[in-house]
Amino acid sequence: MLTIGELASYVGVTPRAVRFYHQRGLMPEPERDASGYRRYGADDVIRLTRIAALAGAGVPLARIAELLEAGDEEFARGLAAIDADVRAQLRRLREVRATLRELGSADRLALPPMMADLVVNLRSSGADPERVDQYRDGWILNRVLYPGAMDYWLADGAAGMLGDPSYFSMLVDTMRVADLDPGDPEVEALAQRSAAWIIENWEVQSQALELDQTDATKNRLLDGHWRSTPAWDHLSARIVTLLRAHGLDRPEFDGVPSAEAEA
């Protein structure tokens, strides 16, 4: 009769593994000798060897018990079912790997590909990383608060705008002037250029992302995220003033103070 250590050594497992199989009901508890030690026989060696072989083949512990008691046909069916489960898991893992490859960077997480491409290009342009993070996270927040709205907007005409090199250049310059003095000539030059671009592309601009601006909670979340600067505030005011002077207006302009009011 064997001790637990001798049994484990013969089969090539550890005594701890044998105890674990006892706990899971795979190995019956043997009788103890007069000294209180478990003693194992030939049947235990055979059963533990079969358990170890199934576990080593990757069979889930929950399925081992049924296979140990199965006849040949039932055993084959059981292995086929386990194989199907493994193949399904492999498919899921391949899908996970494909998704991870598509992400490539944190900038592609939780954004549609077109918007993610824009963020990646902004970062490659040398724009301030913190400003790019703010821009990216702002779109993520919008997408969470307004499910589906961004995707619809991107499919409904915004694609051309986001792919316009002039628009991209303005976006890069907007980030660049963030910390300039509001009266810096570069801020005014960017306001003039931005207003001219918006006027030229007013039809596309009129398809702006429509959000429910009456929801106070969502507005607080968006306002709390966006960290403006004096230069950006002045830039927005100047653009709105120039557009209104051209006879163009939109409801969202109401929240932007005019350049005259700033003065």
- Report for 142-156, 215-229, 233-247: range of highest mean pLDDT: 233-247
How many Cβ atoms sit within 10 Å of the Cβ of residue 30?
A: 18
Cα distances (Å, whole numbers) of residue 53 to 6, 91, 147, 148: 18, 25, 50, 51
In a shared domain, residues 38 and 157: no
Report whether pLDDT(62) > 80: yes
Q: Give yes or no for a contact between 161 and 205, defined as CB atoms under 8 angstroms apart.
A: yes
**Residue ranges making up the domain that contains 228:** 105-262
List, for residues 162-201, the tens digit of each pLDDT value.
Answer: 778 998 999 999 999 999 999 999 999 999 999 999 888 8
Domain identity same for 141 and 175: yes
For residues 65 and 57, give the distance between their C-alpha atoms in angstroms, rounded to a whole number: 14
My answer on whether 118 and 236 are in the same domain is yes
Q: Looking at the predicted structure, is the pLDDT value of residue 211 above 50?
A: yes
What's the structural domain count of the chain? 2
pLDDT for 260 equals 47
Q: Are residues 167 and 238 in the same domain?
A: yes
pLDDT higher than 90, residue 146: no
Nearest to 236 by CA among 219, 261, 217, 214: 261
One domain, residues 256 and 131: yes
Q: What pTM was estimated for this model as a whole?
A: 0.60
DSSP codes joined into one string, 45-104: HHHHHHHHHHHHTT--HHHHHHHHT--HHHHHHHHHHHHHHHHHHHHHHHHHHHHHHHH-
Boundary-marking domain end, from 102, 135, 152: 102
Give the residue from 97, 183, 128 showing the smallest Cα distance to 191. Answer: 183
Q: Same structural domain for residues 229 and 147?
A: yes
Same domain, 115 and 227: yes
pLDDT of residue 183: 95
User: For the segment 94-112, what is each residue's pLDDT rounded down to a tens digit?
Assistant: 988 887 776 667 788 888 8
